[in-house]
Amino acid sequence: MLIFLMAANASGLDFSFNVRAAGDGVFHANEEATLTLLIEPEVEGGLNLTLANSSELILLMTTAKDVRVELDSIDVVKVRNVDSVIIGDIPAGKVATASFRISVGDFYGEVSIPFTIYFTKAEVSPSGSGVQISFKEERYSDSVKIKIEKKLYDFSVRSVSSSLKAGNFGTVEVEIENTGEKEIKEAYATLNSSFFTVLNSVFIGNLKPNERTNVTFRVIAPEAIGNYPARITLFFKDSTEQALSRTVNLSVEEASCIHFEKIAELVPPAKSFRVENSPIFMPSRGFISFKLVSDCNINDAYAILVFENPLIRAENSPYVGNSKEAVLTFYINSSAFEGEYLGYIYLKYRNEFGDTVVSEKSYFSVKVREPQIIKNVKLNAGIGSDGDLELEFDDNFKSLEVSLLSPERGIIVLSPSAYVPDGSNAVFKIKVSEDVSSGYHVLYALIRFEKDDAKDLFYVEKVPVLLLKSNNFAILSVKSELYPDATGEVVVEFRNLGNAISNAVAYLQVSAPFSPVGVSAIGSLVSQAQTANYFIGNVGQNDVAVAKFRVSVDKDAGEGSYPATFYISYYDENGYKHTSSTMTISLEVKKPAPYALYASILIASIGVILAITFARRRRHGKRQG
């Protein structure tokens, strides 16, 4: 562009830049942060311009064009930006910003970070009666100062050491230093990674400023070799709970030539319960199966399985021989309750030189859990009755042998053992006394079974049963004609609310002043209850039946209502005998009706008249003779 003006010489301005950190310029050691630079161009020099429109030229000459900034890393500050930061045009006297992501190292004090600003400036030179404008690329280098200070709470990872094999158990040892100004109290450290299974956290306690400590994490490494990120987090307390984290890299190396893969497991928990107030503890017997693949030259090998918890132990050591591949089944005797437990497996074998060799340990976790062999429980017995308890089993469990134990004296198992062919149910006969309370009760099924290729497994499973009063009858009416010193009839009408019953017998239990006809009255005299019965026979569902009883009333019985007990014994459709719960009824004793008294007086009067008449006739006959 040509601008006509009066200019004696070629002219260009000298640029410098005033650069400083935004804010207070304070950063903390061992952290990632954003450093924002405030950039202001400054110019020196002058132009002899006389044209009226020279202000546009002045603006052009005093603007740093196409500005971009690069920030260099130093030992303690690493710049994470890959490319330079492009700003654009900055007129002199204006301030622009450029932001950089930095990682601050383990250092305290003031540091200078070099930077370079690349820009273009305009120059003018005489051209005929005007000037020629050209552009020249320039750069400006300097450094910006920042301060690195300690945080109130901070820590750094001084070292990480590990020897991790792919797919195996290993340890990671980390040295931690308190790099903050204050003491870290009640601290514990965790290791987190989506690639590793971390088995523990580490309690540290209190850590003073500049104090160091070592923490060891137990991990199971991933199957693939390589470097993996992990995060160490330190939790601690001050006035508010806090947590700090640092990222580390963990290297996983190639494992040995012997590989184990867990393919199946079933380890039931042990059971502790009481039977008639005697404590019983029953361990379980389960199994764990592994697939072995070996690239080693192994001979006369056998596998060994070990648990860190002594409550779980392997009963056998499968023989491998010279096989390169094998499925190994370990039988597990467990006295442990539900939870997750750590174990390891290894091979002991002879190499090609005949030496005994022990392979590396392969760690794994096992879950001790309830297998839930019983799918469904059916019971047709109630309180005070006999019946069947039917157990339905999961089809995944084969060749079951089941024994049923009752922890209560009032619940008696009449047939305690059953063999269950595949796909069948087990039926146990039980008897429940009248003393058992209503509600849920627990029996215990001792189950020996097979699953997959494992045999002779053992487990105790709880069997919950709901026991209720077996009263399936409703009394509709009670009729009684009872008088002192007389015999009367009691008629009880009831409805069968349950299923059809057979051979039903109704019972009426009475005490003084009553006694059943046909039963010795001695019991009534000594105030003992006596029972009369009445055979009913078959009663269908919802049918109404009547029971009749002859009862004698003591002569001293007073007028009023007296309680009596009514219940029914019967057989259900499966041939089991049941007794209903007792039902209280009321028997009423009445006074003799007045007409009965009058009849007695009349009879007595007639007797007297007949006697007088007979006497008179007798005397009259004697006189005639």
In this model, does residue 594 exceed pLDDT 80?
no
In this model, does residue 2 exceed pLDDT 50?
no
pLDDT at 602: 57
Q: Quick check: 347 and 390 in contact, CB under 8 A?
A: no
Of residues 353 and 453, more confidence is placed in 453
Residues 115-125 have a mean pLDDT of 89
In whole angstroms, give the CA distance from residue 288 to residue 309: 16
In this model, does residue 242 exceed pLDDT 60?
yes
In whole angstroms, give the CA distance from residue 598 to residue 530: 35
pLDDT at 1: 32
Which pairing describes strands 212-220 and 169-178: parallel, antiparallel, or unpaired? antiparallel
pLDDT at 270: 94
In this model, does residue 6 exceed pLDDT 70?
no
In this model, does residue 291 exceed pLDDT 50?
yes
- The fraction of the chain above a pLDDT of 90, given in percent, is 46
Cis (ω within 30 of 0) for the bond into 209? no
From the CB of residue 20, how many other CB atoms can be counted at a distance below 10 Å? 14
Q: Quick check: 232 and 196 in contact, CB under 8 A?
A: no
Residue 88 structure tokens: 């654009």
Question: pLDDT tens for residues 72-106?
Answer: 999 999 998 878 899 999 998 899 999 999 999 88
In this model, does residue 223 exceed pLDDT 50?
yes
From the CB of residue 518, how many other CB atoms can be counted at a distance below 10 Å? 8
Residues 308-323 have a mean pLDDT of 93
Residues 275-286 have a mean pLDDT of 89
Residue 343 structure tokens: 């174990």
- The lowest-confidence range among 9-23, 61-75, 496-510, 605-619 is 605-619
In whole angstroms, give the CA distance from residue 417 to residue 419: 7
Distances (CA, A) of 20 to 64, 67, 150, 223: 18, 16, 22, 50
In this model, does residue 624 exceed pLDDT 60?
no
Residues 318-345 have a mean pLDDT of 93
pLDDT at 500: 85
- The fraction of the chain above a pLDDT of 70, given in percent, is 88
pLDDT class for 191, splitting at 50, 70, 90? Answer: very high
* Residue 136 φ then ψ, to 5°: -130, 130
Q: Quick check: 33 and 78 in contact, CB under 8 A?
A: no
Q: Quick check: 568 and 469 in contact, CB under 8 A?
A: no
In this model, does residue 127 exceed pLDDT 90?
no
Q: What is the DSSP letter of 93?
A: T
pLDDT at 192: 93
In whole angstroms, give the CA distance from residue 314 to residue 343: 10
pLDDT at 51: 46
- The lowest-confidence range among 90-94, 171-175, 332-336, 421-425 is 421-425
Tokens 């469904």 -> residue = 376
Closest to 292 measured CA to CA, from 353, 362, 234: 362
Q: CB-based burial of residue 79 (10 Å sphere; 0-12 exposed, 13-18 middle, 19+ buried)?
A: middle
Question: pLDDT tens for residues 376-428?
Answer: 998 877 787 778 889 999 888 999 999 999 998 889 999 888 888 877 889 99
In this model, does residue 114 exceed pLDDT 50?
yes
Of residues 524 and 585, more confidence is placed in 585
Residues 603-615 have a mean pLDDT of 62
Q: Quick check: 42 and 78 in contact, CB under 8 A?
A: no
Claim: this prediction has a pTM higher than 0.75: no
pLDDT at 129: 63
In this model, does residue 7 exceed pLDDT 50?
no
Residues 151-158 have a mean pLDDT of 86
| Backbone torsion region of residue 601, taken as left when φ is above 0, otherwise alpha when ψ lies between -120 and 50, otherwise beta | alpha
User: Residue 10 corresponds to which amino acid?
Assistant: A
* Helical spans, DSSP H, in 495-561: 522-525
Q: Quick check: 307 and 361 in contact, CB under 8 A?
A: no
In this model, does residue 169 exceed pLDDT 90?
no
From the CB of residue 621, how many other CB atoms can be counted at a distance below 10 Å? 9
pLDDT at 78: 93
In this model, does residue 604 exceed pLDDT 70?
no
Long-range contacts of 459-462 (CB under 8 A, 24+ apart): 459/268, 459/284, 459/285, 459/286, 459/371, 459/373, 460/268, 460/270, 460/271, 460/273, 460/282, 460/284, 461/370, 461/371, 461/372, 461/373, 461/374, 462/271
Tokens 């009349």 -> residue = 602
pLDDT class for 166, splitting at 50, 70, 90? Answer: confident
Residues 202-227 have a mean pLDDT of 91
In this model, does residue 174 exceed pLDDT 80?
yes
pLDDT at 8: 39
In whole angstroms, give the CA distance from residue 100 to residue 82: 10
In whole angstroms, give the CA distance from residue 147 to residue 112: 9
Average pLDDT in the chain: 85
Residue 496 structure tokens: 């069968």
